[in-house]
Structure formats: C-alpha cells, structure tokens
Amino acid sequence: MNDIKSIGIVGSSKANTTQNVVDTVCSILDRYNKINTTIVSGGAKGIDTIAVGIARSLEYNVLEYLPKGKGWQYYKPRNILIANKCDKVYSIALSLNDERRRCYHHVLDKLDDNHSKTAGCWTANQCKEHEVLVA
C-alpha cells in the first residue's frame, strides 16, 4: 500500500527567494517522494509561497489552507488545520539579526531558539512531529 504523506512547510513571512531559502526548501522536498507526498502550506507570503512554488515546479501535490481574513483570529484556525492535516511540519525561520526578535515558541520545549520569531514555529509545535530549520 502506498500511503500518502502530508508534509507541512511553513515559516517566516519576511523571507525572500534567496539561494539559502531555496536550498532549505529543496532539502526538505528531497526527503520525500513526490508520488506519495502532498505539501501543505498556509498561503502566506514568504516561506509558504516560496515552498509551494518550488513544490509545484517539482510536480508535488500541493494543498494550501488560506486564512478567511487577516489577523491572528483567522491565522490560528488555519494553522491548526495545517498541523492536524500533516504527518510532519517543517518551520523555516530566518537567522537572528539586530532587527529580528528571538523566537519564543520553543522555550517550553527547551529546543533551540537561535532564530527569529515566526508563527510557523507555533504551527509546527501543534503537530506531533515537527522540525525547525534556519535559512
């Protein structure tokens, strides 16, 4: 039997299509077979849009959960849908710099917080299996 995996790729809305971001997305996609993997994302600018574009260009099936409005009251239920749908969620965060706020979503997990804050980390934490990558 060929079970379909749902893999979430979410992250920083401040990300641009740099080689580092593209390489990070591709390193995730390389772990999965496009025949039995659906890439799930939230349709936000930045990582979500970049990941979906790359996944589609590589002929992965893609599922986007778009929020029904703007603001956390709309983003939170959308993010929960992503986490519940996925077997694993990857959050791609940007590295820290003087202009970016340190991520606080991993304090309770005692995981590495050496990256900038992104709601993608919150979403990933809602999924049983998750990983944060820094681009």
Q: Taking the model in full, what pTM does it have?
A: 0.88
Strand partners, 35: none
pLDDT tens string 68-118: 999 999 999 999 999 999 999 999 988 776 565 666 555 555 555 666 767
pLDDT tens string 16-67: 999 999 999 999 999 999 999 999 999 999 999 999 999 999 999 999 999 9
Distance CA 5, CA 111 (A): 25
**Domain coordinates of the chain in residue numbers?**
5-134
The sheet carrying 61-64 orders its strands as 61-64, 37-41, 5-11, 88-93, 130-134
Distance CA 100, CA 76 (A): 22
Class of the 5-134 domain?
Answer: alpha beta
Distance CA 71, CA 14 (A): 16
pLDDT of residue 104: 58
